[in-house]
Amino acid sequence: MTSYQERAPSMTPAKIVPVILSGGTGTRLWPLSREAYPKQLLPLTSHLTMLQETLRRCADRDLYDSPVVIANGEHRFVIAEQLREMKIQNADLILEPVGRNTTAAATVAAILEAERNPDALFLLMPADHSISDVAAFTRAVELGAQAARNGRFVLFGITPSRPATGYGYIRAAAGEESGVLPVDRFVEKPDEATAQGYLEQGGYYWNSGIFLLPARAFLEEVERLQPQILSACRAAIRQATRDMDFLRLAPDAFADQPSISIDYAVMEHTDRAVVVPVDCGWTDVGSWSSLWEVTEKDGDGNALLGDVVAEDVSGCYMRGEGQLVAAVGVKDLVVVATPDVVMVTTRERDQDVKKLVERLKSDGHNAATQTVRVHRPWGFYQSIHTGDRFQVKRITVQPGQKLSLQKHYHRAEHWVVVNGTALVTRDDEQILLRENESVFLPLGCVHRLENPGKVSLNIIEVQSGPYLGEDDIVRLEDIYARPEREPEPALPVRERKHS
């Protein structure tokens, strides 16, 4: 990835800059999606993650410039790895210190892109939407580009296929048969009867939350309508720091603004808004029922994924991620099993999954936000078993990556290589280990694990000692510039973490 400082302003007609919003938590898709690893980082509709599907949608280099991803700082290394998997080397990754909704993210992108090119256009897209007809979506973007170059704020309105009550609507005003229509008004999520009336009347479209915007004109409207947001975003960029390949916005400056969506802050108050109707197989994948809709189903209307056995079952979404799901004689259910949670609801009540997450948080249950597999910049680890004064983990280190140089005051460790090659630092020694070889790390020794090979390294770690807490990790050196001490989680945890 490159930094904004390294990218020279363009003198050619502006390509469209994809700006991908990857800061959401997706709690309605719990337990698969959690704050520690939200839905946009998961492969839900194909073998690619939702983020990668969004990036692939903008792969046409004749139409699109290099992408920008705006994300939560906690996910920065996972996102960087997913970009590398897509062979995207020139993306910009901007880290938000706190969530401040879509107006703030769009304003940051507009400031940075306008500095690079005064005529910049950017396509603001959530990372967790599904679009099955990419060609139709691309045609709509091309159609809207000329309007955006003329200073219009282009919204993409999805042609409704049913009286959906979970989406906001855009009512289009009468216009020329150009496919670009003036926006008459925005409508909140309606009840079913009202939504049915919209469908019958015509001229109403689902608000996709995707926008094509001219950077300079957008900043002018933000300055007119939301000057505090513009001031905060400019200060956050001015005081931003580089963190490896990431641009980290200044926390205090960025937090000093209201959290408000771009619809409420700008679009409902500007006379620049137009809508391009499009039928592209769009869904926001905001619930289990919406995921059921876009997933391939069997003859009984079931979407069955993973380790699932179903007998006399219809209309269900069932997913086994690490556990067998077996069902008989049920219909219209959602059953999702992860290694640590089994969640059951009806498709009709799936919007209430968020209430479960809120309940778990209030009860202090770490499953509300954390996953069993914990991702780190070097790979991931997963606890296998925890007992009195010991813990067993699987650790996977990606090729060329290394853990911090560290020590512990309360525990010793034993590493056994399952496959791959490990280079182990133990005090003044360096030890090369291969499959079925092991090393003991006594209490207090300075140690590091790294993978010098070209394939993933998998080891089994056995910890032993009176205290196995995360804050017993003292980093002496770290190539990822993380804090010296690993903090203890605020919530009680069943699985202790590893650095």
Residue 40 structure tokens: 């946009």
How does pLDDT run across 97-133, given as a tens digit for each residue?
999 999 999 999 999 999 999 999 999 999 999 999 9
- Whether 333 and 319 have beta carbons less than 8 Å apart is answered as no
Q: From CA 127, how far away is CA 86, in angstroms rounded? A: 15
How does pLDDT run across 370-386, given as a tens digit for each residue?
999 988 999 999 999 99
How does pLDDT run across 473-496, given as a tens digit for each residue?
999 999 988 877 665 544 433 343
- Which H or E run contains 121? strand 121-126
In the block, tokens 């969640």 appear at: 343
- Whether 431 and 439 have beta carbons less than 8 Å apart is answered as yes
Whole-number pLDDT of residue 51: 97
Q: Work out whether strand 429-433 and strand 422-426 pair parallel, antiparallel, or are unpaired.
A: antiparallel
Q: What's the predicted TM-score (pTM) here?
A: 0.88
Neighbour-count burial for 52-65, b at 16+ CB within 10 Å, e otherwise: bbbbebbeeeeebb
Residue 258 structure tokens: 């209201």
CA distances from 212 to 146, 156, 196, 284, 422 (A): 10, 8, 29, 17, 48
Q: Where are the beta strands (DSSP E) in 316-444?
A: 317-328, 333-337, 342-346, 373-376, 379-387, 390-397, 405-407, 412-419, 422-426, 429-433, 438-441
In the block, tokens 């510039």 appear at: 481
How much is the average pLDDT of 314-320? 98
How does pLDDT run across 268-291, given as a tens digit for each residue?
999 999 999 999 999 999 899 999
Look at residue 328 and tell me whether its pLDDT is greater than 50: yes
How does pLDDT run across 388-433, given as a tens digit for each residue?
999 999 999 999 999 999 999 999 999 999 999 999 999 999 999 9
Q: What sign does the CA torsion over 376, 402, 51, 336 have?
A: negative
How does pLDDT run across 182-214, given as a tens digit for each residue?
999 999 888 999 999 999 898 999 999 999 999
Quote the percentage of the chain above a pLDDT of 90. Answer: 83
Q: Give Cβ neighbours of residue 119 (< 8 Å, ≥ 6 apart).
A: 13, 14, 149, 214, 216
Q: Give me the domains of the chain, ranges plus CATH numbers.
A: 4-283 (3.90.550.10), 298-367 (no CATH), 373-477 (2.60.120.10)
CA distances from 459 to 137, 150, 425, 462, 463 (A): 45, 58, 15, 10, 13
